[in-house]
Amino acid sequence: MVLTRVAWIGRLTGPKGDIAEKIISQVAPVFSEVQFTIVGGPISDEYQSKLGDNVTLTGFVKDVNEIFKQNDLVIGAGRVPVEAMRFGLPVIAVGENRYVGPVNEETIAIAKATNFGDCDRLTAWDVQQLIDDLSAIVSGETIFPLEQYAEFVDDYRLDHVYPQVMDVYRQACIDAALRRFREIPVLTYHRVLQQAPQGSKFNVYVAAAELDQQIANLKQRGFEFVTFKDIADGARPKKPVILTFDDGYEDNYLNLLPLLKKHQAKTVVYALADRSLINNHWDMAKGEPEAALMSDAQLLECHQSGLVEIGSHGLRHQHLPELTDDEARQEITDSKQVLETLLGDEVVSFAYPYGDYEDREAELVREAGYCFGVATVSGPIKMTDDLMRVRRITMFPNTSKSKFWKKTSGWYLRYCKLKKKDF
């Protein structure tokens, strides 16, 4: 086939970023007549400096179909190949853990079993394989069975069955990534402030300087800052820690995001999907000072930094068990859709407001297609025992160094259980 435009789609961090780097620095120079488009972010100077004349970086893109329209071939893993194949484009599958190659009758089974290369035991591959495969395509030796592609991806039925089918693959990925950890520290924070607030009753803040030290300390101890989205996308961290911030306060944008950029650390922020809400009305009703929530633009900027997973905290910060079935379903399902539309990305985790949920809520979260339901001080100690009841460790202001170490030690929850303490 005539190959003039090739797109790679992924994110430019972690193992996916390594693949992009190989394409930019080793593959593109071999095919000077082909234009390569690298779709994804965040774009660092390191990537910019390696670009040849035939490579373009687009950053994060909202409309992937536009990319499909402009290219002859797509390279990617996870959901990218499925979408490209539905679009009728030839695909080379290469993911974080395996090189699958051109998708055809022979490779489709392994492609599906490994989520197009993302979920598998790590299998080393040589960039020469990709170069050889592209050469075979250019010379006409490799022909893609495009007429069969619709059938290959029929299982997925992206529009409606996709979440359930992908769920099976994803569950396997998540389980493989996390089951070996008896306890993963998932920390709960709320506001991030330069100064202690006046008249706060609930202590739902941390000082930026203190958080700065805590992040530095975790880095020093070799922790990897991951998000639930990373895990759902196939990340396999060796020593994970997950920092979460509830409610989506504006101070997270002002004070947390700069810290994340400074340390290149990642976090999860749980935002409310009723975008008309501007403050913490639920706490103000109990006498807590007003705190502004992030605007759409601020939320989007956090998301696009590549350092913040935006999760859902429901529409309006309600006690879900008090709602009717329909109302509870709306809070959980509609909030996912609203945030996904705003961000142009999938929302994979839901944090129960007040950590308040029962079996019904956990089931609704699963039904809505989230991979993780995140609680506060309930749920099993081992995360993979129940992904709809992820237990977190509550953080308070002015935590001593030894207390912080204890809370992130990897045995804290077991210790609390022995002591019959909540957290």
Closest distance to Zn ion from the beta carbon of 359 (Å): 21
**CA pair distance 270, 350, nearest whole angstrom:** 7
| 120 lies in the site for Zn ion, by CB under 5 A | no
* Three-class SS of the chain: CCCCEEEEECCCCHHHHHHHHHHHHHHHHHCCCCEEEEEECCCCHHHHHHCCCCEEEEECCCCHHHHHHHCCEEEECCHHHHHHHHCCCCEEEECCCCEEEECCCCCHHHHHHCCCCCCCCCCCCCHHHHHHHHHHHHCCCCCCCHHHHHHHCCCCCCCCCHHHHHHHHHHHHHHHHHCCCCCCCEEEECEEECCCCCCCCCCCEEEHHHHHHHHHHHHHCCCEECCHHHHHCCCCCCCEEEEEEEECEHHHHHHHHHHHHHHCCCEEEEECCCCCCCECHHHHCCCCCCCEECCHHHHHHHHHCCCEEEEECCCCCCCHHHCCHHHHHHHHHHHHHHHHHHHCCCCCEEECHHHCCCHHHHHHHHHCCCCEEECCCCCCCCHHHCCCCECCEECCCCCCHHHHHHHCCCCHHHHHHHHCCCC
By beta-carbon proximity to Zn ion, the closer residue of 232 and 320 is: 320
* Smallest distance from Zn ion to CB 353, Å: 5
Near Zn ion in 329-358, by CB under 5 A: 353
- Residue 386 CB, shortest distance to Zn ion, in Å, is 21
Cα–Cα distance for residue pair 52/37, rounded to 1 Å: 11
Instruction: Tell me how far apart the alpha carbons of residues 209 and 197 are, in angstroms, rounded to a whole number.
Output: 14
| Residue 321 Cβ vs Zn ion, minimum distance, rounded to whole Å | 15
* Minimum distance from residue 120 beta carbon to Zn ion (Å): 37
Query: Which residue's CB is nearer to Zn ion, number 311 or number 353?
Result: 353
Q: How far is the CB of 351 from Zn ion (least distance, A)?
A: 7
Task: Please say which residue, 83 or 283, places its beta carbon nearer to Zn ion.
Answer: 283
Contact in structure between 188 and 246 (CB atoms under 8 Å):
yes
The minimum distance between CB 247 and Zn ion, in angstroms, equals: 4
Comparison of 246 and 309: residue with beta carbon closer to Zn ion: 246
**Stretch near Zn ion under the rule CB under 5 A, chosen from 57-65, 247-255, 288-296, 342-350:** 247-255
Is 237 or 353 the residue whose CB approaches Zn ion more closely?
A: 353
Q: Which stretch binds Zn ion (CB under 5 A): 7-15, 140-148, 203-211, 239-247?
A: 239-247
Q: Binding pattern to Zn ion, positions 352-391, x when CB under 5 A?
A: -x--------------------------------------
State which of residues 96, 118, 224, 247 lies at the interface with Zn ion (CB under 5 A). Answer: 247
Taking the complex as a whole, the smallest distance from the CB of residue 196 to Zn ion amounts, in Å, to 20
Q: Which is nearer to Zn ion, 3 or 338 (CB)?
A: 338
Residue nearest to Zn ion (CB): 246
One symbol per residue from 193 to 212: x for binding Zn ion (CB under 5 A), - otherwise; what is it?
A: --------------------
Nearer to Zn ion by Cβ, of 197 and 353: the residue is 353
Interface size with Zn ion, residues (CB under 5 A): 3
- Looking at 96, 120, 233, 246, which residue binds Zn ion (CB under 5 A)? 246
Nearer to Zn ion, 100 or 268 (CB): 268
Question: Which 54-113 positions form the footprint of Zn ion (CB under 5 A)?
Answer: none
- Applying CB under 5 A, which residues contact Zn ion? 246-247, 353
